[in-house]
Amino acid sequence: MFDLGFWELALVALVALVVIGPERLPQVMRTTGTWLSRLRGMTLSIRSELEQELYRHDVDGQRAEKTSVDDIKQSISDVGSELGKIGQELKDTGNNLTQQSKHKQRTDSSSHGK
């Protein structure tokens, strides 16, 4: 995050020594270290919670997608069944019409033959 090299850190230490003084510098460094440690811990905790929430969201999304895909598969299967029924009804209707037509032709030919 911060790109501090050796010379930048040396400059910060020198300014801290001049501003704070040599007597209070060790105490300020300990306090600063404690606060930085707490800040780092909080950052790691927040990061961990965010990752867990993203994972949960991803898992829930995958479940929803799977449910959605299953629903679509079921709908396609239902439509296929309905189309099969309609196809069978059309076939039966065609057979009935063919039989009626043949019966009518026989009836017409037998009545013309008399």
More confident residue, 98 or 44: 44
Average pLDDT across the chain, whole number: 83
Q: Are 25 and 17 in contact (CB under 8 A)?
A: yes
Flag whether pLDDT at 6 surpasses 70: yes
- How many whole angstroms separate alpha carbon 103 and alpha carbon 111? 12
Averaged over 84-101, what is the pLDDT?
84
Of the pLDDT bands very low, low, confident and very high (cuts 50, 70, 90), residue 112 is: low
Q: pLDDT tens digits for 29-83?
A: 899 899 999 999 999 999 999 999 888 888 777 777 777 778 888 888 888 888 8
